[in-house]
Chain A
Amino acid sequence: MSIIECVELRKEYVSGDAVVKAVDNVTASFEQGEFCAITGPSGSGKSTFIHMLSSLEYPTSGYVVYGGKKISQYNDNQLSILRRRRFGFVFQAYNLVQELTGYENILLPVMLDRKKPDEEYLKKIINMLSIEDRLEHLPSALSGGQQQRIAIARALANKPSVLFADEPTGNLDGKSGREVLSLLKLCSNELGTTLILVTHDLHVAEQADRVITIADGRIVSDSRNREA
């Protein structure tokens, strides 16, 4: 059953006189609990695609459907609520709020939703990510890998249906990258979250259930990994 899908998504940028098509008429759908890797060469439009899919970027045309509703028509407030309740994001550059501690960063979407934090659940994620002893630190006192774990915990804090990760291992060394990836997979499996991950690393893509390859803004292949 599809949890999120997009229809004829298109994103164009104007650069001087030229119009650059970053994403060109992409239609795709993603199943609940699926781990999908989106790959492609640099500048192929994979990040732009995931940004539009996750409502971080406005498409030039086309639309995104989540839970049967066209979220492209949502206003800013509705999108905010959707992002804090249903989506989780992990960025390559971590994007933690520098003034908040690790724990506060994790708690941020829950608090924005004015909900009581599910301590048990949070503890579980924190344990899974092995960041118990880094929670009281400010992001600036953490290594890249630790920051990314905090970012993953934050993305999962509200039990999202879909977890979007844009090159989450891009800024990390091989070992940290592998750890982060396996953590993402583990969380996705454990929590039944759909994981849509952008990467240009084929080793990472190999671990996904499904691999979508984008080139020049178009989907050139959409395949399922047998091993997965």
Chain B
Amino acid sequence: MKDGLTVNKIALGNLKTRKKQYTVMIIGIILAMIFSSSSILFVSCIKSSNDELKKIKLGSQDYVISNVNDDDINRLKQEYGLKDYYPYETLGYAYNGEEKFEKGVSVAKLDESARDYFYLSFVSGGFPQNEGEIAIEESALSLIKKDAVLGDKIELDFLVQNGGNYLEKPIKKEYKLVGIVNDKRANALEISSGDDPLLDLQNFPAAYVSEAEKIEPGGKARTDIFVFQKNFGKNEYDKLLQANADIEHIYVIPTTSYYSLNGGYSSAENTAIVGAIFACIFFVASSVAIINSFTANLNDRKKQIGMLKTVGATSRQIINIYGREAFIIALATMPVSILISYLALKLLTGFIKDVFIFSPKPYIIALCCAVSLLTVLLSAFIPLLGASRVSPMQSIRNVEYSYKLKRRKIKSSRQFNSSKLIAKRSLIFKRGRGAVVSVLLIVVILASGFSTKILYAMFGDNYIQPFDYTISVFNNGYYTKNYNFASDAGYSENDKRDILLNPYIKEAYASRGVFALINKKELSDYDRTFCYQDGNISVFDINHNDDLLRKLTKENCNELLGSKYTEDYEEIKSRFGISNELMPVYLNGIDSGSFEIFKKWLVDGKINMDKLLSGEEVVLVAPQKSCFVVSEQNLSGKTYYTYGAGDFQSLPANVNVLLSGDIDYAVGDELDLSVFSTEKNPDSDGYGNIPLPDDLKKTDKTVKIGAICTVGTEAENGADIYEYFHYTESGIYLFCSNNLIEQICPGTRYTYITLNANGEIDDDKDEKIVKFLEQLNPDTRFSSYIRSNFELENEQKNNEAIAAIVYLSVLVLFLSICSSLINNSLTAQIRAEKRQIGTLRAVGASMREIVRAYILQLISMLSKGTVIGFAAYCVSNFVFIKVQDRLYGVKEDFGFYSLIPAAVSCLLLFLICSVNLLFKIRKETKNSIIDNIREL
């Protein structure tokens, strides 16, 4: 008879005759296969979700290169590794009016394949089929033709493409809007950073015409290509930069989500890392499960191994016999294991289907089978190798254990609790058995403790806004000019009136502000702390680079920061013959109803509504003390400097106070305010370097400080003032009535309107209110936004639900791993100690006493990990809090609540294992004592 056949026969024979003995091992193998296949499925799910999300958001291409010709393509292929690409044509650039040129769209002609590659999907309508039809990206449409609906004829200004350029004069072109496309250009903009050299989204298609569309006479379509590249990373990005620089007329636009455009890792990458960590945990758990169950099974059958060795079986044959068993069991249990993992993942991802797409391809399932089989065989090999090396007598007489016992010097107890003593001795002689469990428990406690804190912070962060809706525009924040643009965008009085007339809206508070300058003989240290930083104040010309910040000391601070004025500041003074110093301040006009909120921050004076409404008085909101500080931080061997001003209540250790001063404004002080404004539009870039306008007009106004308010830090004050009144603690602010703004700068538009709705808000009402607010056109040059608390809260609730599900899943996963390991090990132990159970029963131990002995062992097994885990968590949490306080000045509670889930988990674990123990011992004690004692 052939050797292999014998081995197979023994393996199969073992399986048939010792079904009960195999139960533990089979369960272990199933668990291991579930863990390992789940890890593959989980990683594949994350990958496919990322891929799908990326395709939906940006298209399936990795980047777009526009304005290429055949020569460029050849060069890109030869020098820059271009392989897989697909061309499409761009016919021109459509926009609505000269002033909105920048908000226009590149119009592309896509054939069917290009459409597939670009992964276009429609909010409504479909792809144009005929000449004269157009589909436009949703956000782009709102910029060029806000009110357009499907079927509308829309007339646009159109620059006809002429290769890489446009024909000189735009034409008027009428299209029929047939489709509104889900955003892609807007998403590309979102993942990019503003200063990325490859950011040129003007060439990124955002409007699409049919294949029947022809280029206008005199023009020439531009050829662009979608490029597909595997493993897009830093090198590929650098190559793109190089190509973009080398081939001057092309524009390269990366659209991969795996690498954000300025070199940082994207969230997709982070998710992949989390996925990999999970996969590792799963793999370790599965290996441990197999090693555990296999060791238990082999211990159970040491005598058989010894007998086989006695009759001449080699170590290799022993490995072969028992390895084959594992292989046979793995093969037989594979379908059920894979099915369980599949269903578990399906269920989990079903809960969070917005985030995960779970549709594993057949090859992934095949991979699951292969990996789980390999995991079983490799993990089984470790205990098998050990068992195969044991000498026959060691196996038969279990002399190894006897040696261990002999080496121990034990002193007899004269009186004892039998259960306790047996448990204690068992633990002494089988030390190390619970090591894996202890490690896992420590991980569970640490992970659950910290994730509870994170989750709690996440839930706690959900600041409920005091208003139902906020609409705002950003204008002034972009200019550090100390003067105002009369044409600045915002909401008009009519808009405000329309809002109040809307039946769904109960109340509205509007605010608007202007930059003002307080005439002072000299700037105090208090003033200077604010002037030495950036922000809305522009007095001194300071380049806050690392070199300067490194050099700063208390002594040279005023010299290095406060000796050179900005050109604008000096020109304003000279043009208007001002000899005083000018302290910039933001004068914020608010509705009378909003002043009530200031009472809670009142430090001195009182809120006199009559005087505020008449424009005679203002409320000064400023810290009582202000410091200008520089902080130094070492990260990866490099020192970084940051700076700021404000009332820093508790300063972290690495912060250096260079200048400080107490408030030198008092109630009753008269402030001579000068407000400068221009009728001209600001320059288009919005970032500065525009000359002081010729028509700058000065308006003077003297106001009295009626009240002084000090707000404190943002965290302490529920952020109301920060959210709604443009306030930051690093400056001084004057709050006045809207009447005063009207007196100083008539026609200044509102930049902030906060609203409360009538009654409860539901989906329908919210949609109607948001639609209504969208119709108000603030015509801002930069951005405007509408914030609906209702939507925000819904989103927060969703996020919380996802976080809670993920958190609970992870906790349950760890608990399952722990409990399966412990249960497997205990079950194996009970089987191995069957004879001892029989002996104890024979001398009169009842089931209760036997159970107690095992429960005590279980407690000891769990308590080690639990105590170490809790101690480790308490220490690490304490250290973390201290480090956070020391480095960043952030005070945080210990958060005893974070111990609760870990404690509950440990308790649950104990209960699950106890029940299992009880069940297993009951099963053994149902057999007769002789059955227990009898050797197999």
Task: Point out residues on A near B: beta carbons under 8 Å.
Answer: 51, 56-58, 76-77, 80-85, 89, 91, 93, 95-104, 107-109, 111-113, 116-117, 135-136, 138-141, 154, 158
Q: Which residues of B contact A107 (CB under 8 A)?
A: 414-416
CB of A80 within 8 A of CB of B844, answer yes
Q: Which of B839-888 contact A (CB under 8 A)?
A: 839-849
Interfacial chain B residues near A76, Cβ < 8 Å: 846-847, 925
Contact assessment for A109 and B844 in the assembled complex, using a CB-CB cutoff below 8 Å:
yes
Distance (Å) between the CB of A158 and the closest chain B CB? 8
Which residues of B sit under 8 angstroms from A135, Cβ to Cβ?
Answer: 412
Check A111/B402 contact, CB under 8 A, given A57-B929, A76-B847.
Answer: no
A118 smallest CB distance to B (angstroms) = 12
Given contact pairs A76-B847, A104-B412, enumerate 9 new A-B contacts (beta carbons under 8 Å): A51-B928, A81-B846, A83-B844, A99-B429, A103-B414, A107-B416, A111-B417, A111-B421, A112-B845
Q: Closest chain B residue to A87 by CB distance?
A: B844
- B849, A112: Cβ atoms under 8 Å? yes
Contacts of A138 in B (CB 8 A): 405-406, 408, 410
Select which of A102, A113, A116, A136 is within 8 A of B415 by beta carbon. Answer: A116
Q: How far is the CA of A154 from the CA of B846 in the complex (A)?
A: 17
The smallest beta-carbon distance between B430 and chain A, in angstroms, is 9
B844 contact from A81, A91, A99, Cβ within 8 A: A81
Docked pose: A40 CA to B408 CA in angstroms: 42
> Is the beta-carbon distance between A111 and B928 smaller than 8 angstroms?
no
Q: How far is it, in angstroms, between the C-alpha of A154 and the C-alpha of B839 when the chains are bound? A: 11
Q: Is B401 an interface residue (CB 8 A)?
A: yes
B422 at the binding interface (Cβ < 8 Å)? yes
Bound: A82/B753 CA distance, A: 87
CA distance A211 to B68 in the complex (A): 111
13 residue pairs of the A-B complex, CB under 8 angstroms, read: A57-B929, A77-B848, A81-B844, A83-B841, A84-B844, A84-B845, A91-B933, A95-B835, A98-B405, A111-B415, A111-B416, A111-B418, A111-B421
The answer to whether A98 touches B838, judged by C-beta atoms less than 8 angstroms apart, is: no
B6 within 8 A of A: no
User: Is B425 at the interface (CB under 8 A from chain A)?
Assistant: yes
Residue ID in chain A nearest B848 by CB atoms: A77
B600 within 8 Å of A (CB atoms): no
Chain A positions within 8 Å of B699 at CB level: none
Interface string of B403-439 (1 = CB under 8 A from A): 0011010111111111001100110110000000000
B836 adjacent to chain A (CB < 8 Å): yes
Q: Give bound CA distance, A209 to B499, whole Å.
A: 114
Closest to A105 in B: B843
Closest B-chain residue to A85, C-beta based? B844
Q: Which of A101, A107, A138, A158 counts the most chain B CB atoms within 10 A? A: A138
Q: Which residues of B contact A108 (CB under 8 A)?
A: 418, 840, 843
Which one of A98, A112, A117 contacts B401 once the chains associate, using CB atoms below 8 Å? Answer: A98
How distant is the Cα of A100 from the Cα of B410 in the complex, in angstroms?
9
**Which B residues lie within 8 Å of A103 (CB)?**
412, 414
The reply to whether A109 and B836 contact each other, CB–CB distance below 8 Å, is: no
Contact A97 B836 (CB under 8 A): yes
Known: A81-B844, A89-B842. A140 touches B422 (CB 8 A): no
Contacting pair B844 A58 (CB below 8 A):
no
Q: Is the C-beta of B458 less than 8 angstroms from some C-beta in chain A?
A: no
Contacts of A95 on B, CB cut-off 8 Å? 835, 838-839, 842, 933
| Minimum distance in angstroms from A47 CB to a CB of chain B | 8
Measured CA separation A56–B843 after assembly (Å): 10
Q: What residues of A have a CB within 8 angstroms of the CB of B410 in the complex?
A: 101, 136, 138
Which of chain A's residues has its CB closest to B845's CB? A112
Most A C-beta atoms less than 10 A away, residue of B401, B415, B426, B842 = B842
Q: A residues within 8 A CB of B412?
A: 101-104, 135-136
User: What is the total of A-B residue contacts with beta carbons within 8 Å?
Assistant: 113
Complex formed: what's the CA distance from A4 to B114 in Å? 96
Partner of B406, one of A82, A140, A154: A140
Specify the chain A residue showing the minimal Cβ separation from B403: A140
Please tell me if the beta carbons of A112 and B929 are within 8 angstroms of each other in the complex.
no
Residues of B within 8 A of A84 (CB): 843-845
B930 proximal to A (CB < 8 A): yes
Question: Which residue in B422, B930, B933 is a CB contact (below 8 Å) of A100?
Answer: B422
Contact between B842 and A77 (Cβ–Cβ < 8 Å)?
Answer: no
Q: B843 touching A136 by the CB < 8 A rule?
A: no
Q: How far is the CA of A102 from the CA of B413 in the complex (A)?
A: 11
Give B254 Cβ to nearest chain A Cβ, in Å.
68
Q: Which residue of B lies closest to A141 (CB)?
A: B406
Contact B846 A104 (CB under 8 A): no
Most buried by A among B839, B843, B849: B843
A104 to B841, CA, bound (A): 16
Q: For A93, list chain B residues within 8 Å (CB).
A: 933
Measured in the bound complex, the distance between the Cα atoms of B421 and A56 in whole Å is 24
B929 touches A56 (CB 8 A): yes
Known: A57-B929, A80-B844, A112-B844. A140 touches B425 (CB 8 A): no
Distance A187 CA – B847 CA, assembled complex (angstroms)? 30
Contact of B842 among A83, A101, A117, A141 (CB under 8 A): A83
Which residue, A82, A108, A136, has most C-beta atoms of chain B within 10 A?
Answer: A108
Contact of A140 among B405, B836, B933 (CB under 8 A): B405
Complex formed: what's the CA distance from A109 to B402 in Å?
24
Q: Are A56 and B928 in contact (CB-based, < 8 A)?
A: yes
- In the bound assembly, the distance between CA atoms of A185 and B259 in angstroms comes to 89
With a cutoff of 8 Å between Cβ atoms, the chain A residues found around residue B426 in the complex are 99
A101→B416 CA distance, assembly (Å): 12
Within the complex, what minimum Cβ distance (angstroms) separates A164 from chain B? 9
CB-defined contacts of A85 to chain B, threshold 8 Å: 844
Which chain A residues lie closer than 8 Å to B402 at the CB level? 98, 140
Residues facing A in B895-936 (CB within 8 A) are 925, 928-931, 933
Q: What's the Cα separation between A80 and B842 when bound, in Å? A: 8
Q: How far is the CA of A147 from the CA of B418 in the complex (A)?
A: 20
Query: Closest residue of chain A to B836, judged by CB?
Result: A97
A80 → chain B, closest Cβ, in Å?
A: 4
Could you tell me the distance between the alpha carbons of A111 and B852 in the complex, rounded to whole angstroms? 14
C-alpha gap A89/B839 in the complex (Å): 10
- Which residues of the other chain, A, contact B425 by a CB distance below 8 angstroms? 99-100
Chain B residues with CB under 8 Å of A100's CB are 421-422, 425
> Taking the nearest CB of chain A, how far is it from the CB of B155, in angstroms?
94
- Nearest opposing residue in chain A for B839, CB measure: A95
- For B835, give the chain A residue with the smallest CB separation: A95
User: Given known contacts A81-B844, A104-B421, is B836 in contact with A98 (CB within 8 Å)?
Assistant: yes
Q: What's the least CB distance linking B424 to chain A, in Å?
A: 9
CB distance from B436 to the nearest CB of A (A): 22
The answer to whether B413 touches A104, judged by C-beta atoms less than 8 angstroms apart, is yes
- State whether A51 and B930 are in contact (beta carbons under 8 Å apart), knowing that A80-B845, A109-B843 are contacts in the complex: yes
| Nearest CB of B to A88, in Å | 9
A77/B421 in contact, CB under 8 A: no
- Measured CA separation A175–B405 after assembly (Å): 28
- Alpha-carbon gap, A111 to B843, bound state (A): 11
Partner of A113 from B406, B422, B844 at Cβ < 8 Å = B844
- Which B residues are CB-close (under 8 A) to A112? 418, 843-845, 849
Within 8 Å CB of B843, what residues of A?
A: 83-84, 89, 108-109, 112, 154
Question: In the complex, what's the smallest C-beta–C-beta distance from B205 to chain A, in angstroms?
Answer: 78
Residues of chain B with a CB closer than 8 A to A136's CB: 410-412
**Which residue in chain A gives the minimum CB-CB distance to B929?**
A56
Instruction: Give chain B nearest CB distance to A191 CB in angstroms.
Output: 17
Q: A57 to B415, Cβ gap below 8 A? A: no
Residues of B close to A57: CB separation below 8 A: 928-931
CA distance A1 to B416 in the complex (A): 37
Point out which of B414, B429, B844, B925 has the most chain A C-beta atoms below 10 A from its C-beta.
Answer: B844
Q: Determine whether the beta carbon of B846 is less than 8 Å from that of A80.
A: yes
> Nearest A residue to B402 by beta-carbon distance?
A140
Q: Which residue of B lies closest to A113 (CB)?
A: B844
- Which of B401, B416, B429, B842 interacts with A56 by CB under 8 Å? B842
- Identify which of B406, B418, B422, B847 gathers the most chain A CB atoms within 10 Å of its CB: B418
> Nearest-CB distance from B705 to chain A (Å)?
85
Q: Nearest Cβ in chain A — how far from B630, in angstroms? A: 67
Which chain A residues lie closer than 8 Å to B418 at the CB level? 108, 111-112
